[in-house]
Amino acid sequence: MNTILSFISSKESGVTTQEIEEAFPEMQLRDIVAELNILSKEGLVDIFKTRTGIFYRRNTESHSFSNSEEKIVFLLIKEAGREGIWVKDIKTQSGLHQNLVTKILRGLEQRMLVKAVKSIKQNRKVYMLYETTPSDELGDGPWFTQDAELDTGFVEAIKSVMVEWMCTSCSREKLARFEALPECKDLYNFIVTSGISSVALSQGDILRLLEVLVYEGKVLKLGLKYMPVFNQCRKGASV
């Protein structure tokens, strides 16, 4: 039993029955299943049923869970770390129904085991462990209201102004010269001097929005330089 437990413990992502059979060819399947059931009853091993099948994982959690589905959701959120995980990804990776995932998340939030944080980059809520500090792309900075809600209107307005300024600055003649392309500091200076934002923004805040524009395919990053995608300029920098 200890040998099977050691094998399972060595695989952080868990193991399947087939992998255990391959690791212990001298054991019959009924004996393996019997030992797995004992390990499960003793709370040493968790048995998970997902869309891809059944797998076994060493129990290292101090928290108690009402069922294996709740623990699966918790572990997926834990593995996501500071970046968090979207509810759709939880549903896909766990193989659980949307309504069940929603119910489990609500329960975990009430127990203060997980929390929901708004993501600027993905413009949606992601979940992470309650005590986890969000990454810089998530729930901090001037883009959030006092209620921790993403101010999408403010974000889109600044993004639109940034693209429009890049389109104006980067005429077709200027684009022939790489050195004429703006850098983050140029966009930051423009935002500050124009007074377009009533909220104080840092150069890091502008860099974050540039990364979002690159992610959305509206701006190209060339080293330290940034160039608007031509169709954005033809649309009048509409974002």
Fold classification of 152-234 (topology level)? Arc Repressor Mutant, subunit A (1.10.10)
Question: What average pLDDT does range 186-208 have in this prediction?
Answer: 86
State the DSSP H helix or E strand holding residue 140, giving kind and residue range, or none if neither.
none
pLDDT number for residue 100 = 93
- 115-127: pLDDT as tens digits: 887 776 656 678 9
- List residues bridging with 29 in a β-sheet: none
Q: Quick check: 66 and 74 in contact, CB under 8 A? A: no
- Is the pLDDT at 207 greater than 90? The verdict is no
DSSP 239: -
For the record, the structure tokens of 81 come out as 């770390």
pLDDT number for residue 237 = 42
218 to each of 120, 185, 191, 214, how far by Cα in Å? Answer: 16, 19, 18, 6
Which has more confidence, 204 or 138?
Answer: 204
Measured between its terminal Cα atoms, the distance across the chain in Å is: 60
Question: What average pLDDT does range 79-89 have in this prediction?
Answer: 86
Where, residue-wise, is CATH 1.10.10.10 in the chain?
2-58, 68-129
Predicted confidence band of residue 239 (pLDDT cuts 50, 70, 90): very low
Nearest 5°: phi and psi at 44?
-90, -25
- Is the pLDDT at 216 greater than 70? The verdict is yes
Task: Judge: domain 68-129, CATH 1.10.10.10.
Answer: yes
- List residues bridging with 55 in a β-sheet: 16, 48
Question: Which of these ranges, 129-143, 157-171, 196-210, 217-231, has the smallest mean pLDDT?
Answer: 129-143
User: Could you name the CATH architecture of 2-58?
Assistant: Orthogonal Bundle (1.10)
Half-sphere exposure in the Cβ direction for 203 (13 Å, CA): 5
Predicted confidence band of residue 16 (pLDDT cuts 50, 70, 90): confident
pLDDT number for residue 123 = 61
Predicted confidence band of residue 43 (pLDDT cuts 50, 70, 90): confident
- Is the pLDDT at 182 greater than 60? The verdict is yes
Predicted confidence band of residue 238 (pLDDT cuts 50, 70, 90): very low
Mean pLDDT of the chain: 81
pLDDT number for residue 131 = 81
Question: What average pLDDT does range 94-113 have in this prediction?
Answer: 89
pLDDT number for residue 68 = 77
- Is the pLDDT at 172 greater than 70? The verdict is no
pLDDT number for residue 150 = 65
- Is the pLDDT at 7 greater than 60? The verdict is yes
Predicted confidence band of residue 58 (pLDDT cuts 50, 70, 90): confident
